[in-house]
């Protein structure tokens, strides 16, 4: 009798052990994925939603294209979507000035110290380089930059250009929220604004405001003589 029962008992025991082991592995895999999700969801970055309206001049308000406010958003790196829940979506954000040639040694995956080393301060004896509403608070992961302006041009920097940067001021349990940086751009002295071209031209513009016609240049004088 025993020789007959022994293989049967072994088979039943093996099946039970295999079933229990399979359930255990499935459970462990599920817990592992759950453990990963919090860290993955914390791969966050600030970004500028719209581009800066150019040209930019000292003393003039910095705006987004089409004369609307610059917009900042907190984005999940994994999904590319705006983070609209959790404490991070209500973070306080500071707008700062960066070197125009700051690209990061690893592209957009720069280190915090690398970002800090590219922050531009005012020249000695000058007032702060960026003036106005440099602090904003995100609402549902988005924020609007208020009235800000440059107090100095960019000609004295190593690239002769600036970038705007945005960084979170709060500490969220050590979570690294990567900073934002705009495209590089030139900031000219406000005296140049008197001669800037309008895009599109205004009906009231003088003819020299059109592209390729310099104020008091030969072409302008000729057109003026012909009463254009």
Distance CA 155, CA 167 (A): 25
Say whether pTM exceeds 0.85.
Answer: no
Distance CA 130, CA 97 (A): 7
pLDDT (tens digit, 0 to 9) for every residue of the chain, 228 residues total?
455 556 666 776 677 767 777 776 776 665 544 444 444 446 899 999 999 999 999 999 999 998 899 999 999 988 999 999 999 999 999 999 999 999 865 667 899 999 999 999 999 999 999 999 999 999 999 999 999 999 999 999 999 999 999 999 998 887 889 999 999 999 999 875 555 655 666 555 565 556 555 555 665 556 566 655
Residue 108: the pLDDT is 77
Residue 50: the pLDDT is 96
DSSP single-letter state for residue 200: S
Distances from the Cα of 195 to the Cα of 56, 79, 102, 187, 190, angstroms? 13, 45, 30, 15, 10
Mention every residue, 6+ apart, whose C-beta is less than 8 A from residue 211.
197
Q: Which CATH superfamily, name and number, covers 43-190?
A: Velvet domain (2.60.40.3960)
Residue 19: the pLDDT is 76
Residue spans of alpha helices (H) in 62-142: 112-117
170: nearest Cα among 114, 97, 80, 86: 86
> What is the widest separation between alpha-carbon atoms in the chain?
124
Residue 41: the pLDDT is 46
Upstream peptide bond of 53 is cis (omega within 30 degrees of 0) = no
Tokens of residue 189, six digits: 């002295």
Distance CA 228, CA 223 (A): 5
Mention every residue, 6+ apart, whose C-beta is less than 8 A from residue 123.
152, 156
Domain boundaries in the chain? 1-41, 43-190, 197-225
Burial label for 84, CB within 10 Å (0-12, 13-18, 19+), is middle
């Amino acid at each position: 009798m025993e020789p007959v029962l022994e293989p049967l008992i072994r088979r039943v025991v093996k099946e039970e052990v295999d079933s229990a082991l399979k359930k255990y592995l499935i459970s462990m895999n599920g817990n592992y994925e759950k453990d990963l999700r919090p860290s993955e969801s914390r791969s966050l970055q600030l970004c500028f939603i719209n581009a800066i309206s150019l040209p930019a001049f000292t003393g003039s308000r910095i705006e987004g294209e089409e004369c609307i406010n610059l917009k900042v958003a907190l984005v999940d790196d994994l999904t590319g979507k705006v983070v609209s829940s959790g404490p991070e979506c209500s973070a306080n954000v500071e707008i700062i000035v960066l070197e125009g040639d700051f690209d990061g040694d690893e592209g957009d995956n720069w280190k915090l110290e690398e970002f800090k080393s590219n922050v531009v301060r005012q020249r000695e004896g000058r007032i702060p380089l960026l003036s106005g509403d440099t602090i904003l608070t995100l609402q549902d992961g988005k924020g609007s930059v208020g009235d800000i302006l440059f107090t100095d041009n960019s000609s004295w920097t190593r690239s002769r250009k600036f970038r705007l940067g945005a960084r979170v001021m709060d500490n969220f349990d050590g979570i690294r929220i990567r900073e934002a940086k705009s495209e590089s751009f030139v900031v000219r002295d406000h005296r140049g604004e008197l001669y800037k071209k309008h895009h599109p031209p205004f009906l009231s513009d003088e003819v020299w405001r059109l592209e390729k016609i310099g104020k008091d240049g030969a072409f302008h004088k000729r057109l003026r003589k012909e009463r254009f």
